[in-house]
Protein backbone atom coordinates (compact mmCIF):
# COMPACT_ATOMS: atom_id res chain seq x y z
CA UNK A 1 0.00 0.00 0.00
CA UNK A 2 1.15 3.55 -0.73
CA UNK A 3 -0.26 6.58 1.01
CA UNK A 4 0.26 10.19 -0.03
CA UNK A 5 -2.27 12.21 1.94
CA UNK A 6 -4.70 11.75 4.81
CA UNK A 7 -8.36 12.27 4.05
CA UNK A 8 -10.45 13.90 6.75
CA UNK A 9 -13.15 16.04 5.13
CA UNK A 10 -16.87 15.24 5.52
CA UNK A 11 -17.81 12.24 3.40
CA UNK A 12 -20.66 11.95 0.93
CA UNK A 13 -21.50 8.35 1.76
CA UNK A 14 -22.12 5.46 -0.66
CA UNK A 15 -23.84 3.03 1.71
CA UNK A 16 -25.30 0.47 -0.68
CA UNK A 17 -25.46 -0.83 -4.24
CA UNK A 18 -25.42 1.93 -6.85
CA UNK A 19 -25.44 4.64 -4.16
CA UNK A 20 -27.93 6.06 -1.69
CA UNK A 21 -30.90 5.79 -4.10
CA UNK A 22 -29.69 2.74 -6.05
CA UNK A 23 -29.62 4.84 -9.23
CA UNK A 24 -25.87 5.06 -9.92
CA UNK A 25 -25.78 8.79 -9.15
CA UNK A 26 -23.65 10.62 -6.61
CA UNK A 27 -24.61 13.96 -5.06
CA UNK A 28 -20.93 14.97 -4.87
CA UNK A 29 -19.96 18.39 -6.17
CA UNK A 30 -16.59 20.10 -6.60
CA UNK A 31 -15.16 17.29 -8.72
CA UNK A 32 -12.67 17.60 -11.56
CA UNK A 33 -14.29 18.37 -14.91
CA UNK A 34 -11.31 16.93 -16.76
CA UNK A 35 -8.31 14.79 -15.82
CA UNK A 36 -4.59 14.90 -16.60
CA UNK A 37 -3.56 12.87 -19.63
CA UNK A 38 -2.54 9.89 -17.46
CA UNK A 39 -5.77 10.02 -15.48
CA UNK A 40 -6.54 11.28 -11.98
CA UNK A 41 -3.97 10.90 -9.20
CA UNK A 42 -3.93 7.55 -7.44
CA UNK A 43 -3.46 8.24 -3.72
CA UNK A 44 -3.29 4.65 -2.50
CA UNK A 45 -3.91 1.06 -3.49
CA UNK A 46 -4.10 -2.39 -1.93
CA UNK A 47 -3.89 -5.76 -3.68
CA UNK A 48 -4.79 -8.19 -0.89
CA UNK A 49 -8.61 -8.38 -0.98
CA UNK A 50 -8.82 -11.78 -2.64
CA UNK A 51 -11.00 -12.73 -5.58
CA UNK A 52 -14.13 -10.74 -6.16
CA UNK A 53 -16.31 -8.50 -8.28
CA UNK A 54 -18.08 -6.70 -5.44
CA UNK A 55 -17.91 -2.94 -4.92
CA UNK A 56 -17.09 -1.09 -1.68
CA UNK A 57 -19.72 0.47 0.55
CA UNK A 58 -18.63 3.65 2.37
CA UNK A 59 -20.04 5.42 5.40
CA UNK A 60 -18.57 7.86 7.94
CA UNK A 61 -15.05 7.54 6.56
CA UNK A 62 -14.95 3.73 6.69
CA UNK A 63 -14.79 1.47 3.61
CA UNK A 64 -16.47 -1.95 3.75
CA UNK A 65 -15.56 -4.45 1.03
CA UNK A 66 -15.50 -8.22 0.68
CA UNK A 67 -13.22 -10.68 -1.08
CA UNK A 68 -12.54 -14.42 -1.25
CA UNK A 69 -9.35 -16.01 0.12
CA UNK A 70 -8.96 -19.79 -0.01
CA UNK A 71 -12.67 -20.26 -0.76
CA UNK A 72 -13.71 -18.22 2.29
CA UNK A 73 -15.53 -14.90 2.07
CA UNK A 74 -14.03 -12.10 4.16
CA UNK A 75 -15.58 -8.72 4.93
CA UNK A 76 -13.02 -5.96 5.50
CA UNK A 77 -13.38 -2.57 7.17
CA UNK A 78 -10.73 -0.11 5.96
CA UNK A 79 -9.97 3.48 6.87
CA UNK A 80 -9.71 6.18 4.20
CA UNK A 81 -6.01 5.45 3.75
CA UNK A 82 -6.77 1.81 2.95
CA UNK A 83 -5.55 0.49 6.31
CA UNK A 84 -7.38 -2.43 7.86
CA UNK A 85 -9.63 -1.72 10.86
CA UNK A 86 -11.07 -5.24 11.11
CA UNK A 87 -11.80 -8.27 8.96
CA UNK A 88 -14.34 -11.06 9.47
CA UNK A 89 -14.59 -14.41 7.65
CA UNK A 90 -18.24 -15.25 6.91
CA UNK A 91 -18.10 -18.68 5.26
CA UNK A 92 -17.71 -20.27 1.88
CA UNK A 93 -18.04 -18.00 -1.15
CA UNK A 94 -18.74 -18.76 -4.79
CA UNK A 95 -16.01 -21.09 -6.15
CA UNK A 96 -17.46 -22.30 -9.43
CA UNK A 97 -17.72 -20.33 -12.69
CA UNK A 98 -15.97 -16.93 -12.26
CA UNK A 99 -15.11 -17.56 -8.58
CA UNK A 100 -15.13 -14.73 -6.07
CA UNK A 101 -17.48 -12.39 -4.26
CA UNK A 102 -20.50 -10.95 -6.06
CA UNK A 103 -22.70 -8.94 -3.72
CA UNK A 104 -21.53 -5.70 -2.12
CA UNK A 105 -22.40 -4.86 1.50
CA UNK A 106 -25.48 -2.86 2.49
CA UNK A 107 -25.03 -0.50 5.46
CA UNK A 108 -27.98 0.30 7.73
CA UNK A 109 -27.55 1.98 11.13
CA UNK A 110 -25.03 0.04 13.19
CA UNK A 111 -25.25 -3.08 11.01
CA UNK A 112 -23.93 -4.35 7.69
CA UNK A 113 -25.78 -6.93 5.59
CA UNK A 114 -24.24 -9.18 2.95
CA UNK A 115 -25.55 -12.04 0.79
CA UNK A 116 -22.84 -14.53 -0.12
CA UNK A 117 -22.58 -16.12 -3.57
CA UNK A 118 -23.84 -19.31 -1.92
CA UNK A 119 -27.04 -17.59 -0.74
CA UNK A 120 -26.20 -17.08 2.95
CA UNK A 121 -27.40 -13.76 4.38
CA UNK A 122 -25.10 -12.40 7.10
CA UNK A 123 -25.58 -9.46 9.48
CA UNK A 124 -22.44 -7.87 10.95
CA UNK A 125 -21.86 -5.33 13.71
CA UNK A 126 -20.54 -2.28 11.86
CA UNK A 127 -18.08 -1.21 14.54
CA UNK A 128 -16.51 -4.55 15.45
CA UNK A 129 -17.22 -6.84 12.50
CA UNK A 130 -18.80 -9.42 14.79
CA UNK A 131 -21.48 -11.55 13.12
CA UNK A 132 -24.84 -10.82 14.75
CA UNK A 133 -26.76 -13.50 12.84
CA UNK A 134 -26.77 -15.43 9.58
CA UNK A 135 -29.46 -17.28 7.61
CA UNK A 136 -28.87 -19.71 4.76
CA UNK A 137 -31.64 -18.24 2.61
CA UNK A 138 -30.94 -20.62 -0.27
CA UNK A 139 -31.43 -23.69 1.94
CA UNK A 140 -34.18 -22.33 4.21
CA UNK A 141 -36.44 -21.22 1.36
CA UNK A 142 -35.55 -24.04 -1.09
CA UNK A 143 -33.96 -21.59 -3.50
CA UNK A 144 -32.69 -22.45 -6.94
CA UNK A 145 -28.99 -21.76 -7.32
CA UNK A 146 -28.09 -19.64 -10.34
CA UNK A 147 -25.41 -20.49 -12.89
CA UNK A 148 -23.04 -17.82 -11.58
CA UNK A 149 -24.09 -17.80 -7.93
CA UNK A 150 -26.22 -15.33 -6.02
CA UNK A 151 -25.30 -11.75 -6.95
CA UNK A 152 -27.95 -9.64 -5.23
CA UNK A 153 -27.16 -6.71 -2.92
CA UNK A 154 -29.84 -6.93 -0.24
CA UNK A 155 -32.32 -4.09 0.26
CA UNK A 156 -33.40 -2.56 3.57
CA UNK A 157 -37.01 -1.34 3.85
CA UNK A 158 -37.97 -0.12 7.34
CA UNK A 159 -37.43 -3.07 9.74
CA UNK A 160 -36.94 -5.61 6.94
CA UNK A 161 -33.98 -6.92 4.98
CA UNK A 162 -35.09 -8.12 1.54
CA UNK A 163 -33.49 -10.84 -0.59
CA UNK A 164 -34.56 -13.07 -3.47
CA UNK A 165 -33.66 -16.76 -3.00
CA UNK A 166 -36.11 -17.89 -5.70
CA UNK A 167 -37.84 -20.67 -3.78
CA UNK A 168 -41.38 -22.03 -4.27
CA UNK A 169 -43.73 -19.44 -2.74
CA UNK A 170 -40.58 -17.62 -1.62
CA UNK A 171 -39.14 -15.96 -4.68
CA UNK A 172 -38.60 -12.93 -2.44
CA UNK A 173 -38.43 -12.92 1.37
CA UNK A 174 -38.32 -10.29 4.11
CA UNK A 175 -36.37 -11.00 7.30
CA UNK A 176 -36.33 -9.02 10.53
CA UNK A 177 -33.15 -6.98 10.22
CA UNK A 178 -32.40 -7.28 13.95
CA UNK A 179 -32.50 -11.07 14.26
CA UNK A 180 -33.00 -12.70 10.83
CA UNK A 181 -36.46 -14.10 11.60
CA UNK A 182 -38.85 -14.43 8.66
CA UNK A 183 -41.45 -11.66 8.38
CA UNK A 184 -43.00 -12.65 5.04
CA UNK A 185 -42.46 -14.62 1.86
CA UNK A 186 -43.90 -13.71 -1.54
CA UNK A 187 -46.54 -16.44 -1.66
CA UNK A 188 -48.04 -17.08 -5.06
CA UNK A 189 -44.82 -16.10 -6.83
CA UNK A 190 -42.52 -19.00 -7.69
CA UNK A 191 -40.09 -17.45 -10.17
CA UNK A 192 -36.42 -18.28 -10.07
CA UNK A 193 -34.30 -15.37 -8.94
CA UNK A 194 -32.44 -13.24 -11.44
CA UNK A 195 -29.24 -11.40 -10.54
CA UNK A 196 -31.07 -8.14 -9.95
CA UNK A 197 -30.61 -6.07 -6.80
CA UNK A 198 -34.10 -4.71 -6.05
CA UNK A 199 -35.15 -1.13 -5.37
CA UNK A 200 -38.22 0.31 -3.72
CA UNK A 201 -40.50 3.23 -4.44
CA UNK A 202 -43.52 4.86 -2.83
CA UNK A 203 -46.64 5.01 -4.97
CA UNK A 204 -50.30 5.34 -3.97
CA UNK A 205 -49.44 5.18 -0.28
CA UNK A 206 -47.57 1.89 -0.75
CA UNK A 207 -43.91 0.98 -0.49
CA UNK A 208 -43.29 -1.21 -3.53
CA UNK A 209 -40.24 -3.38 -4.17
CA UNK A 210 -39.38 -3.69 -7.86
CA UNK A 211 -37.01 -6.33 -9.20
CA UNK A 212 -36.29 -8.53 -12.19
CA UNK A 213 -36.63 -12.28 -11.70
CA UNK A 214 -35.69 -15.04 -14.14
CA UNK A 215 -38.51 -14.29 -16.58
CA UNK A 216 -40.38 -11.21 -15.36
CA UNK A 217 -40.36 -7.83 -13.71
CA UNK A 218 -42.40 -7.85 -10.50
CA UNK A 219 -43.80 -5.41 -7.97
CA UNK A 220 -44.09 -6.63 -4.36
CA UNK A 221 -45.85 -4.84 -1.50
CA UNK A 222 -43.12 -4.24 1.08
CA UNK A 223 -45.61 -4.43 3.96
CA UNK A 224 -46.71 -8.04 3.47
CA UNK A 225 -45.00 -9.56 0.42
CA UNK A 226 -48.13 -9.53 -1.72
CA UNK A 227 -47.55 -9.70 -5.47
CA UNK A 228 -49.00 -6.51 -6.96
CA UNK A 229 -48.06 -7.09 -10.59
CA UNK A 230 -45.87 -9.20 -12.86
CA UNK A 231 -44.90 -8.58 -16.49
CA UNK A 232 -43.40 -11.55 -18.35
CA UNK A 233 -40.50 -10.76 -20.66
CA UNK A 234 -41.29 -13.61 -23.05
CA UNK A 235 -44.41 -11.74 -24.17
CA UNK A 236 -42.35 -9.21 -26.09
CA UNK A 237 -38.64 -10.11 -26.00
CA UNK A 238 -37.21 -12.61 -28.44
CA UNK A 239 -34.10 -14.01 -26.72
CA UNK A 240 -34.64 -14.71 -23.03
CA UNK A 241 -31.57 -15.57 -20.95
CA UNK A 242 -31.45 -16.16 -17.16
CA UNK A 243 -29.60 -13.06 -16.07
CA UNK A 244 -31.56 -9.77 -15.77
CA UNK A 245 -29.16 -8.13 -13.30
CA UNK A 246 -29.87 -4.45 -13.83
CA UNK A 247 -31.64 -2.55 -11.05
CA UNK A 248 -34.62 -0.58 -12.46
CA UNK A 249 -34.59 3.19 -12.89
CA UNK A 250 -37.60 5.08 -11.51
CA UNK A 251 -38.98 8.58 -12.00
CA UNK A 252 -42.45 10.05 -11.36
CA UNK A 253 -44.56 6.92 -11.66
CA UNK A 254 -42.54 5.33 -14.45
CA UNK A 255 -39.67 2.83 -14.42
CA UNK A 256 -37.26 1.39 -16.94
CA UNK A 257 -35.69 -2.08 -17.06
CA UNK A 258 -33.05 -3.51 -19.38
CA UNK A 259 -31.21 -6.78 -19.86
CA UNK A 260 -28.55 -8.12 -22.24
CA UNK A 261 -28.44 -10.97 -24.78
CA UNK A 262 -30.55 -9.01 -27.24
CA UNK A 263 -33.46 -8.59 -24.83
CA UNK A 264 -33.46 -4.79 -24.93
CA UNK A 265 -35.37 -2.65 -22.44
CA UNK A 266 -38.87 -1.50 -21.54
CA UNK A 267 -40.46 1.57 -19.97
CA UNK A 268 -43.51 1.03 -17.73
CA UNK A 269 -46.15 3.27 -16.20
CA UNK A 270 -47.43 2.45 -12.72
CA UNK A 271 -51.05 3.18 -11.88
CA UNK A 272 -51.63 5.94 -9.29
CA UNK A 273 -52.53 3.37 -6.62
CA UNK A 274 -49.47 1.23 -7.42
CA UNK A 275 -51.42 -1.94 -8.18
CA UNK A 276 -51.00 -2.13 -11.97
CA UNK A 277 -48.45 -1.42 -14.69
CA UNK A 278 -48.58 -0.94 -18.45
CA UNK A 279 -45.83 -0.86 -21.05
CA UNK A 280 -45.05 2.58 -22.42
CA UNK A 281 -42.34 1.71 -24.92
CA UNK A 282 -39.93 -1.12 -25.81
CA UNK A 283 -36.40 -0.66 -27.20
CA UNK A 284 -33.91 -3.25 -28.50
CA UNK A 285 -30.82 -1.02 -28.84
CA UNK A 286 -29.83 -0.54 -25.20
CA UNK A 287 -29.83 -4.14 -23.99
CA UNK A 288 -27.48 -3.57 -21.07
CA UNK A 289 -25.68 -6.72 -19.90
CA UNK A 290 -24.74 -5.99 -16.27
CA UNK A 291 -23.20 -2.51 -16.36
CA UNK A 292 -26.48 -0.80 -15.42
CA UNK A 293 -27.73 2.57 -16.67
CA UNK A 294 -28.19 6.11 -15.34
CA UNK A 295 -30.80 8.81 -15.95
CA UNK A 296 -29.51 12.35 -16.46
CA UNK A 297 -31.69 15.30 -17.54
CA UNK A 298 -34.27 13.19 -19.36
CA UNK A 299 -31.85 10.75 -21.02
CA UNK A 300 -30.77 7.18 -20.21
CA UNK A 301 -27.08 6.35 -20.63
CA UNK A 302 -25.42 2.93 -20.62
CA UNK A 303 -23.75 0.25 -22.72
CA UNK A 304 -25.36 -2.45 -24.84
CA UNK A 305 -24.61 -6.14 -25.32
CA UNK A 306 -23.34 -7.35 -28.69
CA UNK A 307 -21.37 -10.31 -27.37
CA UNK A 308 -20.23 -11.24 -23.87
CA UNK A 309 -17.10 -9.17 -24.47
CA UNK A 310 -18.34 -6.34 -26.64
CA UNK A 311 -21.03 -3.70 -27.02
CA UNK A 312 -21.71 -0.06 -27.82
CA UNK A 313 -22.43 2.96 -25.62
CA UNK A 314 -25.99 4.21 -26.03
CA UNK A 315 -28.21 7.15 -25.11
CA UNK A 316 -32.02 6.93 -25.11
CA UNK A 317 -34.64 9.58 -24.51
CA UNK A 318 -36.54 8.69 -21.31
CA UNK A 319 -39.94 9.87 -22.55
CA UNK A 320 -40.01 8.09 -25.92
CA UNK A 321 -37.17 5.54 -26.04
CA UNK A 322 -35.73 7.33 -29.06
CA UNK A 323 -32.10 6.34 -29.74
CA UNK A 324 -29.96 9.47 -29.54
CA UNK A 325 -26.64 7.71 -30.21
CA UNK A 326 -25.24 4.17 -30.48
CA UNK A 327 -21.45 4.47 -30.42
CA UNK A 328 -18.43 2.18 -30.31
CA UNK A 329 -15.88 2.93 -27.54
CA UNK A 330 -13.71 -0.07 -26.70
CA UNK A 331 -16.27 -2.53 -25.26
CA UNK A 332 -19.27 -2.54 -22.95
CA UNK A 333 -19.03 -1.79 -19.25
CA UNK A 334 -20.58 -0.04 -16.26
CA UNK A 335 -21.53 3.58 -15.69
CA UNK A 336 -21.96 6.14 -12.88
CA UNK A 337 -22.83 9.84 -12.79
CA UNK A 338 -21.49 12.62 -10.57
CA UNK A 339 -21.24 16.42 -10.78
CA UNK A 340 -22.00 16.84 -14.47
CA UNK A 341 -19.98 13.88 -15.74
CA UNK A 342 -20.46 10.23 -16.66
CA UNK A 343 -17.87 7.74 -15.39
CA UNK A 344 -17.62 4.80 -17.82
CA UNK A 345 -15.59 1.68 -17.00
CA UNK A 346 -15.01 -0.75 -19.86
CA UNK A 347 -14.90 -4.32 -18.59
CA UNK A 348 -12.46 -6.24 -20.81
CA UNK A 349 -9.32 -4.07 -20.94
CA UNK A 350 -10.06 -1.73 -18.05
CA UNK A 351 -10.37 1.52 -19.97
CA UNK A 352 -11.95 4.20 -17.77
CA UNK A 353 -13.42 7.40 -19.23
CA UNK A 354 -14.80 10.71 -18.05
CA UNK A 355 -17.65 11.50 -20.46
CA UNK A 356 -19.85 14.53 -21.03
CA UNK A 357 -23.55 13.64 -20.53
CA UNK A 358 -24.98 15.01 -23.76
CA UNK A 359 -27.47 13.23 -26.04
CA UNK A 360 -25.66 14.58 -29.10
CA UNK A 361 -22.67 12.22 -28.89
CA UNK A 362 -20.57 9.94 -26.66
CA UNK A 363 -18.03 12.64 -25.90
CA UNK A 364 -14.96 11.33 -24.04
CA UNK A 365 -13.19 14.10 -22.14
CA UNK A 366 -10.33 12.00 -20.73
CA UNK A 367 -9.55 8.32 -20.28
CA UNK A 368 -6.94 6.06 -18.71
CA UNK A 369 -6.40 2.34 -18.20
CA UNK A 370 -6.82 0.82 -14.73
CA UNK A 371 -3.30 -0.40 -13.85
CA UNK A 372 -3.70 -2.96 -11.06
CA UNK A 373 -5.58 -6.19 -10.40
CA UNK A 374 -6.54 -9.08 -12.64
CA UNK A 375 -9.57 -10.73 -14.23
CA UNK A 376 -12.65 -9.09 -15.65
CA UNK A 377 -13.32 -5.45 -14.77
CA UNK A 378 -16.82 -6.12 -13.43
CA UNK A 379 -16.86 -4.34 -10.08
CA UNK A 380 -18.79 -1.07 -10.27
CA UNK A 381 -16.81 2.02 -9.18
CA UNK A 382 -17.84 4.15 -6.21
CA UNK A 383 -17.44 7.89 -5.53
CA UNK A 384 -17.29 9.25 -1.98
CA UNK A 385 -15.74 12.37 -0.45
CA UNK A 386 -14.04 13.38 -3.68
CA UNK A 387 -12.42 9.97 -4.12
CA UNK A 388 -13.07 7.52 -6.95
CA UNK A 389 -12.71 3.90 -5.81
CA UNK A 390 -12.07 1.22 -8.44
CA UNK A 391 -11.95 -2.48 -7.58
CA UNK A 392 -10.30 -4.94 -9.97
CA UNK A 393 -10.09 -8.47 -8.58
CA UNK A 394 -7.85 -8.41 -5.49
CA UNK A 395 -6.97 -4.72 -5.96
CA UNK A 396 -8.71 -1.60 -4.68
CA UNK A 397 -7.47 1.76 -5.97
CA UNK A 398 -8.35 5.23 -4.65
CA UNK A 399 -8.12 8.27 -6.99
CA UNK A 400 -8.36 11.89 -5.96
CA UNK A 401 -10.92 13.56 -8.24
CA UNK A 402 -11.56 16.71 -6.16
CA UNK A 403 -11.31 19.97 -8.03
CA UNK A 404 -9.39 21.48 -5.12
CA UNK A 405 -6.36 19.26 -4.62
CA UNK A 406 -4.78 18.74 -1.19
CA UNK A 407 -1.58 20.69 -0.47
- pTM confidence score: 0.94
pLDDT band at 239 (very low <50, low <70, confident <90, very high): low
pLDDT band at 234 (very low <50, low <70, confident <90, very high): confident
Length of the chain equals 407
| Of 109-113, 124-128, 183-187, 230-234, the least confident | 230-234
Q: For residue 381, is pLDDT > 90?
A: yes
Share of the chain above pLDDT 90, in %: 87
CA–CA separation, 230 and 250 (whole Å) = 17
Backbone φ/ψ region at 298: left (φ over 0), alpha (ψ -120 to 50), beta: left
CA–CA separation, 255 and 277 (whole Å) = 10
* pLDDT tens string 294-338: 999 999 999 999 988 899 999 999 999 999 999 999 999 999 999
Q: For residue 354, is pLDDT > 50?
A: yes
Q: For residue 10, is pLDDT > 80?
A: no
Average pLDDT, stretch 142-149? 90
Average pLDDT, stretch 191-217? 94
Average pLDDT, stretch 330-347? 97
H-type alpha helices, 152-309: none
Residue pair 138/165 in contact by the 8 Å Cβ criterion: yes
pLDDT band at 145 (very low <50, low <70, confident <90, very high): confident
Average pLDDT, stretch 85-105? 97
Average pLDDT over the chain, rounded to whole? 93
Query: Comparing 32 with 194, which gets the higher pLDDT?
Result: 32
pLDDT of residue 319: 98
Strand order in the sheet with 333-338: 25-26, 333-338, 341-346, 351-356, 363-369
* pLDDT tens string 268-289: 999 999 999 999 999 999 999 9
User: What are the extents of the domains in the chain?
Assistant: 25-400
pLDDT band at 159 (very low <50, low <70, confident <90, very high): very high
Q: For residue 405, is pLDDT > 60?
A: no
Q: For residue 171, is pLDDT > 90?
A: yes
Residue pair 331/311 in contact by the 8 Å Cβ criterion: yes
pLDDT of residue 3: 27
pLDDT of residue 261: 86
Question: What is the CATH superfamily name and number for domain 25-400?
Answer: YVTN repeat-like/Quinoprotein amine dehydrogenase (2.130.10.10)
Q: For residue 205, is pLDDT > 90?
A: yes
pLDDT band at 237 (very low <50, low <70, confident <90, very high): low
Average pLDDT, stretch 192-214? 95
Q: Are strands 227-232 and 254-259 parallel, antiparallel or unpaired?
A: unpaired
Amino acid sequence: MITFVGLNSQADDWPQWRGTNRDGKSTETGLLKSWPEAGPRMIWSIETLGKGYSSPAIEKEVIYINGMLEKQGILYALDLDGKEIWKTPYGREWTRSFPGTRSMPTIDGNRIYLLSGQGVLVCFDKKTGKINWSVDAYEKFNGKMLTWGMGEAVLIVDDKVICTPGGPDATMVALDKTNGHTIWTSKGLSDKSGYCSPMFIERGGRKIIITQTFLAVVGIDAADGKLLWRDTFIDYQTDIEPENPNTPLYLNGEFYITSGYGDGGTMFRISPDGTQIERKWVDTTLDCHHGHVVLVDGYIYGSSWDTNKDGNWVCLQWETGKVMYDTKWHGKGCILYADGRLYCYEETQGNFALVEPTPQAFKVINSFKVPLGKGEHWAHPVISNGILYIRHGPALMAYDIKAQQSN
